[in-house]
Amino acid sequence: MIYFERQTSRLCGVHAINALLQGPFFSASDLAAIARALDDEERSLLDQSSLRRSSGSHAERSENVGDDGNFSIQVLCKALDVFGLSARYASADEERGTDSAKELAFVCNLSEHWFALRRLGDAWWDLNSMHAAPKKIGTFYLDAFLNQLTAEGYSIFVVRDLAAAALPEMLGQNGEYGEWLTEEECLRLTSEAETAQASGRARLAAESAMKTLSDGPSRLVVDGGVASDVVDLTADRELQAALEASMEDYGKLDASGTDTDADLKAVLAASLEEIEGGDASIEAAIAASLRDEEAKMDVDVARFAEEPDAGDGIVSLAFRLPDGDRIARRFACASSIADVEKWLEVAKRLDMRSNCLALAFPPRALADASTSIRDAGITDREVLAVRPRP
């Protein structure tokens, strides 16, 4: 059996460490606690040195966990240290050794994504949480795979002494994010995902071809339902097959094309006449809509003009905005998430239709705007992030 966690929010660090250890050993809250402890150690060190920052800004932003829940390698190493394990930078061949297949595990990182490679039995598995299931890696392909990751900019860390680690038995325990899969299930889920991806690529290829034809200078010539001499598709067989299938369907729908073309031209002409005749009414409607929006904005500005005084039933909240700015305000606990979002729209002109509020730990989007601040579990002096809606 193979333990695997699929991607949830930005918790790839949690997924990677649990996949490597083969069990739900750590939660997002566990790694967050480790990150806070590391932050405290670093701040204490800064306070005792000449590197202390006079602005005090180091106490505000964590260097070990991002606003979106992404953890640093220091956090993952500290988590491994709980079981007497360590991760060493191994992008260089000399650290990996002459035979990578003799290792037991690697942790790989690029930008903000972590995933684990693990030898289970006689086989290596890619436990990337972005996959539908663990992917089997041939032992002879492992070195080439690691070299490819290095060339793509990944940092690779080797984890040793796993065989001697005293890890508690976790078989059958799924935790919050994971599940146990047989090798057969892994292969089946991977095959199904790859088939779906191939189907999606074929559909996109057909759409791209049709767009090229409609945008380009060439004319589409239909002769018996077959596309002829429009664009050179011979370099991409998948694209050619998809386009020809589309053209065959087109031919089946209308073999003659004459009557349909005439009807289509008549409908288009009528539509154009309606649009031209309706320009004045459209402009008037737009102007009226703008006036309504301005009136609503004036009402909202007046609504949030006075900030409640501190006291019972009032919380002070800070917000981290997409542009890196910070803003804070007091709200009544009975206020809804929608009220907070509306204030952000008024105060910072944010588009909260495409953004949402989110708690940092564990990372959770506040999707139900009708929920009150109290019922959402938001406490005084909490920091919320504004991020794109999932």
Q: Is the pTM of this model over 0.85?
A: no
Whether 120 and 2 have beta carbons less than 8 Å apart is answered as yes
Looking at the structure, tell me whether residues 40 and 150 fall in a common domain: yes
Could you list the residue range(s) of the whole structural domain that residue 291 is in? Answer: 261-303
**Is cis: bond before 362, omega within 30 of 0?**
yes
Could you report the per-residue pLDDT of 12-71, keeping only the tens digit for each?
999 999 999 999 999 988 998 998 888 887 777 656 544 444 444 444 556 677 756 678
**Percentage helix, strand, coil for the chain under 3-state DSSP, each rounded to 5:** 45, 20, 40
Residues in the chain: 390
Do 30 and 85 fall into the same domain? yes
The answer to whether residues 73 and 148 belong to one domain is: yes
pLDDT in tens, 258-297: 555 566 566 556 655 655 555 666 666 665 555 555 555 5
315 contacts 347 by C-beta, under 8 angstroms: no
Cα 175 off chain centre by = 21
The count of structural domains within the chain is 4
- Do 37 and 140 have their domain in common? yes
State whether 273 and 350 are in the same domain.
no
Spatial separation of the C-alpha atoms in residues 340 and 329, rounded to whole Å: 10
Return the amino acid letter for 160: R
pLDDT at residue 376 in the model: 92
Q: Residues 42, 52: contact at Cβ < 8 Å?
A: no
Residues 116 and 12 in one domain: yes
Residue 197 domain flag: no
In the chain, what percentage of residues exceed pLDDT 90?
Answer: 24
How far, CA to CA in Å, does 69 sit from each of 248, 271, 357, 359, 360? 50, 51, 14, 10, 6
Q: Known catalytic residues?
A: 12, 113, 128
Q: Give the residues across from 124 on adjacent strands.
A: 119, 137
The one-letter amino acid at 374 = R
56 inside domain: yes
Structure tokens at 215: 């945008």
